[in-house]
Amino acid sequence: MNQSSALITQLERWVAVGALRQLDLALARLIHEQCPDSAAPVLLAAALVSERNSHGHVCLDLTAAQQHPETLLLARRPTAQPVEVAAELKALLGALPLPQWLEHLRRSPAVADQFAATAAATTPLVLAGTAARPLLYLRRYWRDEQLILAGITARLRQPLAVDDDVLRQLLAQLFDAPAPAQLPWDRIACALAVRSAFAIITGGPGTGKTTTVVRLLALLQGLALAAGQPLLRIRLAAPTGKAAARLNESIAGRVAALPLADLAHGEQIRAAIPTAVTTVHRLLGPRQHSRHFHHHAGQPLPVDVVVIDEASMVDVELLARLLEALRPEARLLVLGDKDQLASVEAGAVLGDLCRRAAAAHYTAATCDWLQRVTGVMLPEEYRDPAGRALDQAVAMLRHSYRFDRHGGIGALAALVNAPPSGQQRRAEAVLALFAEQGDSRQLTALQLPSASPAAPAFDELVSAGYAEYLKRLRNAAPAATASAAEIDKWALSVLAALGKFQLLTALRDGIWGVSGLNQHIIALLRDQKLLDGEPTETQQWFAGRPVLVTRNDPNLGLMNGDIGITLEVPLRQTQPPQRGLRVAFPADDGSGGVRWMLPSRLQAVETVFAMTVHKAQGSEFEHTALLVPDVPNPVLTQELLYTGITRSKKAFTLIYYQASVLEAALQRRVTRVSGIAAALHTES
């Protein structure tokens, strides 16, 4: 058996113990079959780059792989313990010097070497990056990254002309005088964004990103009118249906509150700011049974400005499709919290683009211009003579209007989000904050007595959290003669009550994951007579079942992340009148209405008494409870804890068994490999 065949056999054993996926093995096999001359190191690289994609990395950093092989082949199942695999991988990479690995890759017909004068255009793998940091990609991810880099770079290279006098007047009209000793970052963000065809506004929860972007859109429309140009065609979008619905709920009020009464054409400007929000997928127009969209480079979106909210959830592929569908002169404005979890799919684009946001890195020319139009003189800490083009288009909002950084949820989020210090016992500081804030009723820590979430205190928390919506569902149910409007009103009230509490977890499987937790909660609520019916394995649909859409369904107009509630409603078409189950979803058109679905039509939904933190992104709940599992897991990171905490508006409960698991999460940050930051010169 030659070395390549021996490696395939070794990869098969790694799949058997859960260290690799069948998909990773399939790629290595394909290259082995199609390119028999490819050496074993090429097949190993192919399996590793595919494995890295499954963990959200856009590519494989070859240098880092050799220096830290322990970060690769992380177990995908909680029961998998591939200790022997880690040792085998370390031995393989230890015997493979980087120059030799690169040489094997360059010789393989399966690899396009972007360092070479000519590179094949159809190979499955692409070698790129820099000589100091070579990166290996699957071709589709490399192509998507190149599209993103080209789209952003082209927009950064074309600063837009702005009438400084008009801008100064509009800023003075739209913004109140800043508070003493507080930099008006919202005003600074708007000023920077109007002169760039690509701009980012980042900030934590409650920092006013939505309010700021509404004022920014008013600025853009006001500048267009002042210049004698047509009003801009603007579209608002978010990555998920839930994020779009949340923005829908707030944006109309923000637009109505704009101080435009004393401004020429003020009402015309107000009317030209959209209040309806869609998902990015709906904006692009998904084709049935296809990964392609109606809008692309050959049929671009008929818009002048696109605003993307909750951009931390946007993956590399989706952003590439959006930039591909924009006309070269169209603006892209990006909003999001750079510290939240990255997308479920490959990439952490917002995090890559905002690596230098905290220190600003504005050039002298930018600072001088900002002082002219905003009246703000930036301190030296935000100035950088070597500031890069992207830096001048990024602004970070720093004042939270929702949370006090010195107490409650805001203080907890700031503490969890602090960079790892290398010192142990960070969990002690976090738990001490819970003890200090105990009387505020904002923060509660619940330590479980055993390695199972099924404890009396946990059950009491969950049943109390979901009791309100279940009681509203039962006690306020419409009569058989109720009108459609009355039924819709009731459904909306149940949906609103459902959003007051949410249990979050890090995992999908096991008793600590959504599958086990949902089963436990259904049985619990039935035992307490909050849910009707007896628990059975086959009874999938029941009144009161909250569901989460897990896959885009253009035919039904439902998108991944949409949340609905199963209700028993009067069926008018039956004689005698009967009641039947229907699933209510909030309308996605900004109307505040309801969309009703037959349960039988919903093929990609799951019960959502418990939800993963990833799925909760873009959502807010009055009270959020985050369950930390009993043993460490690679998905438990600072970003996950921070994202879970900041889903809360009024109260947060931390549920844990061992402080050591919390400690491990606080010491681990997500680092996703891509070439975007380096290519845009954003690395420190």
For residue range 239-284, what is the model confidence (pLDDT) as tens digits?
877 777 778 778 888 888 888 877 778 888 888 989 888 888 889 8
Q: What is the mean pLDDT of residues 513-528?
A: 89
Start-end of H helices in 178-287: 185-194, 209-226, 241-256, 266-271, 280-284
Residue 478: predicted pLDDT: 81
For tokens 């969309």, name the residue. Answer: 595
Q: Is residue 25 within a helix (H) or strand (E), and if so which, with residue range?
A: helix 22-34
Residue 305 near residue 330 (C-beta atoms within 8 A): yes
In this model, does residue 473 exceed pLDDT 90?
no
d(CA 560, CA 615): 9
pLDDT for 119: 62
Burial of 97 per CB tally in 10 Å (0-12, 13-18, 19+): exposed
Residue 505 and residue 513 in contact, taking contact as beta carbons nearer than 8 Å: yes
Least confident of 117-126, 131-140, 654-663: 117-126
Q: Identify which of 603, 611, 615 has the alpha carbon closest to the alpha carbon of residue 515.
A: 611
Please report the sign of the dihedral spanned by the C-alpha atoms of residue 537, residue 541, residue 544, residue 548. positive
Check: CB of residue 311 under 8 Å from CB of residue 338.
no
Residue 673: how many other CB atoms lie within 10 Å: 22
Structure confidence by residue, pLDDT tens digits, 140-189: 999 999 999 999 999 999 888 899 999 999 998 888 877 777 899 999 99
Read off the pLDDT of each residue in 397-407 and give the average, rounded to a whole number. 68
Mean pLDDT of the chain: 85
Q: How far apart are CA 339 and CA 356, in angstroms?
A: 12
Backbone angles phi, psi at 23, to 5 degrees: -65, -40
Q: Are 630 and 659 in contact (CB under 8 A)?
A: no
pTM: 0.84
Pairing status of strand 578-586 against strand 563-571: antiparallel
- Dihedral pair phi/psi, residue 332, rounded to 5°: -125, 120
On the question of pLDDT at 230 being above 80, the answer is yes
Distance CA 403, CA 397 (A): 14
